[in-house]
Amino acid sequence: MSLNILRIDASARAEGSVSRDLNDKIVGRYIAAGDVNVVRRDLAQSLPLLDAAWIGANFTAEADRTVEQREKLAVSDALVGELTAADIVVIGLPIYNFGVPAALKAWIDLVARAGVTFTYSADGPVGLLEGKRAIISVASGGTEVGSDIDFATGYMRHVLKFIGITDVIFVSADRLAIDPEGTLAAANDAVAALPIAA
């Protein structure tokens, strides 16, 4: 049975992007290991931002939605469908201004859907996605992953857990402006060490 991979790239750069290069290597390891089906979502192609009509449509019961409201949710439905179908989600995460790129935040806003990817119980929020692994390729110039000024990786771990993805692996090429050779070597070692069954 083939493994479904959803690859998401958030770097605005098509050329010279470290996070895209790491994503290439990660997906390449899966392809070399067996039967995989890869779906790509390039966030350099902009996604719509949430607006009042979108929120109104999302909070209207599915059976009661108008044609316009269904159209308003169509992109979100497509993104949720890609995510739901995936066994592995590979996400390129360049750190922009100490956080995630706006394009990636737009994707998150479109896939975090009450009643679809999360719900609330008496004990608090419950993620509705199950059995998925996320692998996140992080690239930064000077921000150290895990430091007090890294508002990207902890946020990603939290928001993925919120929708039910708790198995999250980071492959980090951080501080590229400070120690490019060291951090790229460590990131390549991390790609080689990923638990990918042959």
Ligand X SMILES: Cc1cc2nc3c(=O)[nH]c(=O)nc-3n(C[C@H](O)[C@H](O)[C@H](O)COP(=O)(O)O)c2cc1C
Q: Which residues bind ligand X (CB under 6 A)?
A: 11, 13, 17-20, 94-98, 139-143, 176
Q: Smallest distance, Å, CB 159 to ligand X?
A: 18
Task: Give the span between the Cα atoms of 113 and 116, in whole angstroms.
Answer: 5
Q: Which two tokens stand for residue 190?
A: 């991390």
Q: Smallest distance, Å, CB 21 to ligand X?
A: 8
Q: Smallest distance, Å, CB 77 to ligand X?
A: 28
Task: Give the span between the Cα atoms of 88 and 134, in whole angstroms.
Answer: 6
The beta-strand segments (E) located in 10-156 are: 36-42, 88-94, 118-121, 124-127, 133-139
Q: Smallest distance, Å, CB 22 to ligand X?
A: 8
Q: Smallest distance, Å, CB 167 to ligand X?
A: 23
Q: By beta-carbon distance, which residue lies closest to ligand X?
A: 94
Comparison of 19 and 153: residue with beta carbon closer to ligand X: 19
Comparison of 7 and 113: residue with beta carbon closer to ligand X: 7
What count of residues does the chain have?
A: 198
Comparison of 115 and 142: residue with beta carbon closer to ligand X: 142
Look at the block and give the residue holding tokens 């995936």.
86
Comparison of 103 and 163: residue with beta carbon closer to ligand X: 103
Comparison of 58 and 183: residue with beta carbon closer to ligand X: 183
Residue 156 burial (CB count, 10 A): 22
Task: Give the span between the Cα atoms of 191 and 92, in whole angstroms.
Answer: 13
DSSP count for the chain of H helices, then E strands: 7, 7
